[in-house]
Amino acid sequence: MSQSNINLIVEKILNRLGKTNIISLGDSHSYFYKNIDKIEIKWIGPALAYNINKDVSSNNTKSKILDILDQNDPSKTAIILSLGEIDLRVHVIKRVEIENISIEESSIRVAGKYIEMIEYIIRRGYKVLINGPHASGSVYDPVFPTYGSMENRNIATLAFNSHLEKYCETKKIPFISLSDLVIDPNTYQTNLDFILDGCHLNAAPELQEICLSRFLSKLEIYNPEL
């Protein structure tokens, strides 16, 4: 695994998309794609996918996204979106208990809000790639609060990703996640060897290369003639 391999994959992705650069946009998980040529990080703060379409929210998520869209050229720029992990870590299980609904239903509600913004960005002319949440960490920290058990948070993560991926497949939008590597399918525990600080996926070149290769594979499936 080398930086040159990563840069080559990015070039192939850009060629498939017909773009010159990529913006990694979202919450702090957008930093996973740091230090990669032709990928620029645009962190919009602790953004909630559930609130993404609200004109007024505590993080002003919608206005931040619209500003970034306005400042860039969709004929040149593609966007990797990374959102949803904060919802899954804190709010989804809370809504399960408050509203007496299933984890799947609570997760799908959040995914539905996220999809509305994805569709808006596409209507603006941008090519979008979706970086799905990978897993929920275990270390309690006031900076990265959690709610509910790790098992339930990871069940929510898998339900959220499943709904989002099905939508993306119908629209031929590349969706990737490392949930299959990071979450044990039997116990729903997170393999903390992949986690940097109890919350974020380690942005090691090896993992960056896996994610970018998965994006490229999806693009090759959706556009086999290129």
User: 3-state class of 23 per DSSP?
Assistant: strand
Domain count for the chain: 1
Best CA proximity match to 134, nearest among 110, 170, 107, 160: 160
Is 43 within a domain? yes
Best CA proximity match to 131, nearest among 14, 12, 30: 30
Is 199 within a domain? no
CA separation for the pair 145, 20 (Å, rounded) = 37
Full pLDDT tens readout for the chain, 226 residues: 578 899 999 999 999 999 999 999 999 999 999 999 999 999 999 999 999 999 989 899 999 999 999 999 999 999 999 999 999 999 999 999 999 999 999 999 999 999 999 999 999 999 999 999 999 987 667 778 899 999 999 999 999 999 999 999 999 999 999 999 999 999 999 999 999 888 999 999 999 999 999 999 999 999 876 5
Q: Is the pTM of this model over 0.75?
A: yes
CATH number at residue 48: 3.40.50
Is 94 within a domain? yes
Containing structural domain, residue 109 = 3-189+205-222
CB-based contact 192:201 (threshold 8 Å): no
Is 35 within a domain? yes
CB-based contact 130:167 (threshold 8 Å): no
